[in-house]
Structure 1
Amino acid sequence: MRIVDGPFAGFDAELVSVDGVRLTARVSVFGRQTAVELHRDQLEHPEDIPALWFGEEEDDREVLAGLRERIAAQYDDLGYGEKFEFFLERADLPEEDPAQEWDTYTALCAEVDAHVRRRRTVALRAFDQEIAPLPAGEARRRVTADSGRWMPATTAREERRSRYPGIDRSQAEDQLLATVFGRPDPPPGLWERAHRRRAASRSAADLRDYAAWKATNRPQGHYEQVRSAAVAQVEHERAAIEERLARDWGLQLPDSIFRFRAFLLSLGPIEKQALDDLELVPFGIMDLFDDPARDSRAGVDVRVHGRYYRDPPEFLTFMHGGTDGLHFGLWYDDGRTCTGVASYYNNDGGGVGLPSRTPLEAVRHTLETGWCHVGDGDDEPADPMDPEVAVRRNRLRLLRETLMTFETGDRDEQGNDYHDTYKPSPEVLEHGAPDRIETLDGGGALVDGDTTIERGRQKPWNDYDFCTALRKELTDDPAAREAHVAEARRRCAAGHPADALTLGRDLHWISAGDPELERHATELLTMAYRALGRDNLAAIAQAHHRHRALPQVHVLEEG
């Protein structure tokens, strides 16, 4: 057996015993046999191992249905293997025309798919006639005894191993030694070289086809004119929107929000469709750019436009994300200048995360996530893509190129490679942001001093144990909550606002419509912000408190 998941991934194993879906196996590590406990899903092709079939089904009908499903699944594996041999045979040949090689491969895929469909139909018809009428035990024995007929993918893999000796040799020990002793990684085996060859061929064909698609859909000279006009429009409107945000919110808008605006104005119909595919929609303060003088409905404070129920006062919405109330906001720790961007799902779990980067980086991050999942969820699909999937990828690629003319132009990575390269530093991941005290909303509080509630540094994700325990105490123990609130008041009055700010943010986040929690949150936040000289955040907190029961977050007059 081959282990494909867990600490022993990449090792070959010998089955010792089976207990339902759990099993014991032996692996050889540096020449020594070691017993390990595994789940069947940690194995490659567990459906091909007859010993794992027994005890899974409850009656004959389920046994027979399961056998039939396994036989049908064999043909998916059979087709994959026959296609992949195309690249196994070419793994070490010179690359002359990778795009043409992919074209040849796609033609082979069509032939293999048709051939495998015919064989599957014949096999399942024979199963229904010869095996399905048998008792479950006899059916298993027949299938196991004639695996060449009923398990063609397993047979094909054995034949492939004989043609390509060492194809399945595990490199796990070599990689482990390289890691332990700081040696270079071992050279890739045949299977990995074939995968790389396929990826290179597909990428070459993809880029060739995209270039032709782009030339038809967006002439370069036209885009340059549109971009220049967008930049000029933003420069013309900038002063008015800056004045509006400074007057009503007391906030300075960062240059990055104006680049975001210019990016939006430069998008053509194709890029707009790509942005729509990602479910990203400018919202919140972006609604004021076309008309900076636009006011809110009568009796509603304009500062709550785009402000969701749980938004911390530091959060200023500029974009909606489509799903479960996902929205993005500029983050203002000091009540004046933007620290970065945060986001969260208002209708789901999770916090706002550490504020960082810019609006366009937030778009790029979402784009690369979409790039990973468009179509089939694979950065390197094995088969030719559906034409509509190819068009969606082309739209995303064009959107990426447009975005990179404004920001992230030096970041050529795509998909998971992008996320791996630009994730938070190991120091922040392990120890948290050094200047931010942990809060239940996940954004952390920028404030000096210790707090009576023991808190760590804010990490990019919430500490589950801390959040669960503190939330339970604040919601289930009124006496403890009142004691914390009283102590935060006292310390803030004495010149130490850290407790009032962090506890106020906690209570604001977990209010859930409870008027007592809402009242305490607003009181503490107002005290803390004023003590810290962040009077505009105090005013935003109070405005939000007055309007937290609004049924929707869009409060501007209809234009």
Structure 2
Amino acid sequence: MEKFADIQSLLKGYYNIDFPTSIFQLADFLQNYPEEELEIDLGTVHVSPSGLLSLILNPKLLTENFKKLALLHFRYYRDLPEFFTYLHGDCDGLHWGLLLDDPSVGFRGAASYYNNDGDQITVYSSIFSALIDRCEEELEYCDECLADFPEDEDEDYLETKSRINRFLERIQDYIGKHSIEIVENRVESVSSDSGLGLCVPEKFRRNESSKVYSQDLRKDTIYSVCSIERLLTQSSANAS
């Protein structure tokens, strides 16, 4: 997006990666949200800008000191190499990230997980679909509370539902207005019991039913596709 051209250029200089249009569209959506309602509505769905999104919204954070440690910023202990944080939640290290499985193709899809409890990774077709899913989760929780708790508490949950629906409707309106594609065709070809499979380039695919793990200090940490490419290329060279 043209309004973010300068920050887009800075980020590319720091990371040597072209970040997707969708992350700048999400920033644009938040910047144009009614200011007096933004903090309330984000708080209602329990998300806040973090990582890349916070840098786009506040370019003053991009200093020379930041550049020295750019690749380490906003990374959680269990983050995979292809995971780039852009939102965080309200507890247990919950955060969302863009996915860069195959640098030759670019960013596709998004994922989230709780860093502190070892839960599985949840994968989404795009960052906007991830935000929609979050809203729907919170609406479902409100409905459960309305069914389980006394009627004198209904008013609070009904008000919460109203705010979530307002936020959700504005997201959907923005998606429609800008013809945003919320399915980014991220196709996993190697499964994983972490919840996040691998998108391996076709030329490197051998056994699609296999699972690929590394055995380091983090339990069941999966190699990134970049690492797999290097390993397979080296293996082929040695074999010849």
| TM-score interval (norm. to shorter) | 0.7 to 0.9
Q: Does the alignment pair 1:279 with 2:46?
A: yes
Question: Structure 1's 440 and 408: CA in aligned 2 closer, same or farther, altered over 3 A?
Answer: farther
More off after superposition, 386-395 vs 397-406:
386-395
Higher helix proportion (structure 1 or 2): 1
Question: What is aligned with 1:361?
Answer: 129
The one of 258, 278, 281 equivalent to 2:24 is: 258
Spell out the pairing of 1:106-255 with structure 2 (5 A cutoff). 235-236=2-3, 238-255=4-21
- Greater Rg over alpha carbons, structure: 1
Question: What is aligned with 1:437?
Answer: 190
Kept in 1, the 8 Å contact 2:14–2:67? The answer is no
Size of the aligned set, in residue pairs, is: 220
For residues 277 and 511 of structure 1, what CA distance do their matches in structure 2 show? 34
Deviations 1:181-215 (A, max 9, x none): xxxxxxxxxxxxxxxxxxxxxxxxxxxxxxxxxxx
Deviations 1:6-29 (A, max 9, x none): xxxxxxxxxxxxxxxxxxxxxxxx
Question: What is aligned with 2:206?
Answer: 450
The one of 343, 360, 363 equivalent to 2:112 is: 343
Question: What is aligned with 1:295?
Answer: 63
Other structure's SS at 1:308 match: coil
State the one-letter code of the partner of 1:245.
L
For residues 248 and 457 of structure 1, what CA distance do their matches in structure 2 show? 35
Question: What is aligned with 2:238?
Answer: none
Question: What is aligned with 2:84?
Answer: 316
Question: What is aligned with 2:121?
Answer: 352
State the one-letter code of the partner of 1:261.
A
Kept in 1, the 8 Å contact 2:145–2:157? The answer is no
Kept in 2, the 8 Å contact 1:330–1:339? The answer is yes
Question: What is aligned with 1:406?
Answer: 174
For residues 310 and 331 of structure 1, what CA distance do their matches in structure 2 show? 14
For residues 144 and 197 of structure 2, what CA distance do their matches in structure 1 show? 36
Question: Structure 1's 317 and 296: CA in aligned 2 closer, same or farther, altered over 3 A?
Answer: farther
Kept in 1, the 8 Å contact 2:142–2:161? The answer is yes
Deviations 1:451-479 (A, max 9, x none): 6xxx7378xxxxxxxxxxxxxxxxxxxxx
For residues 109 and 73 of structure 2, what CA distance do their matches in structure 1 show? 20
Question: Structure 1's 508 and 394: CA in aligned 2 closer, same or farther, altered over 3 A?
Answer: same
Name the % identity.
24
What RMSD over aligned residues (CA atoms) do the two structures have, in Å?
3.7
Deviations 1:452-509 (A, max 9, x none): xxx7378xxxxxxxxxxxxxxxxxxxxxxxxxxxxxxxxxxxxxxxxxxx334x6474
Question: What is aligned with 1:528?
Answer: 228
Question: Structure 1's 449 and 375: CA in aligned 2 closer, same or farther, altered over 3 A?
Answer: closer
For residues 293 and 271 of structure 1, what CA distance do their matches in structure 2 show? 21
For residues 292 and 530 of structure 1, what CA distance do their matches in structure 2 show? 36
Kept in 2, the 8 Å contact 1:318–1:328? The answer is yes
For residues 348 and 407 of structure 1, what CA distance do their matches in structure 2 show? 33
Could you tell me how far 1:257 is from its partner in structure 2?
Answer: 1.1
Other structure's SS at 2:213 match: helix
Other structure's SS at 2:91 match: coil
Kept in 1, the 8 Å contact 2:198–2:225? The answer is no
Kept in 1, the 8 Å contact 2:49–2:88? The answer is yes
Could you tell me how far 1:439 is from its partner in structure 2?
Answer: 3.2
Other structure's SS at 1:406 match: helix
TM-score, normalised with respect to structure 1: 0.35
Could you tell me how far 1:310 is from its partner in structure 2?
Answer: 1.0
Could you tell me how far 1:379 is from its partner in structure 2?
Answer: 7.8
Could you tell me how far 1:378 is from its partner in structure 2?
Answer: 4.6
Deviations 1:423-445 (A, max 9, x none): xxxxxxxxxx9742123533122
Other structure's SS at 1:397 match: helix
Could you tell me how far 1:400 is from its partner in structure 2?
Answer: 1.4
For residues 367 and 406 of structure 1, what CA distance do their matches in structure 2 show? 15
Question: What is aligned with 2:213?
Answer: 503
Kept in 2, the 8 Å contact 1:315–1:332? The answer is yes
TM-score, normalised with respect to structure 2: 0.74
Kept in 2, the 8 Å contact 1:328–1:343? The answer is yes
Question: Structure 1's 256 and 380: CA in aligned 2 closer, same or farther, altered over 3 A?
Answer: farther
Kept in 2, the 8 Å contact 1:295–1:302? The answer is no
Q: Which runs of 5+ in 2 are unaligned?
A: 178-185, 234-240
State the one-letter code of the partner of 1:442.
G
Could you tell me how far 1:358 is from its partner in structure 2?
Answer: 1.9
